[in-house]
């Protein structure tokens, strides 16, 4: 999905804006996925 988006980057500001608006959400999702892995077993 991400690679597809990167490959779809075009000079058009529309796509650039859409790409930039979706970027901030990516690290959040990654952090949410990594959070359970980082927390030590109780």
pLDDT the model gives residue 33: 59
Q: Which of 31, 6, 30 is nearest to 18 (CA)?
A: 6
Report yes or no: 38 and 32 within 8 Å, Cβ to Cβ.
no
Instruction: Convert the pLDDT of each residue in 1-42 to its tens digit.
Output: 455 555 555 555 555 555 555 555 556 666 665 666 665 656
Domain boundaries in the chain? 2-7+14-35
Q: Which tokens hold the place of 11?
A: 């000079």
Single pTM value for the model: 0.21
């Amino acid at each position: 999905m991400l690679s597809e988006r990167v490959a779809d980057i075009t000079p058009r500001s529309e796509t650039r804006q859409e790409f930039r608006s979706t970027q901030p959400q990516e690290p959040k999702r990654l952090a949410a996925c990594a959070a359970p892995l980082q927390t030590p077993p109780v």
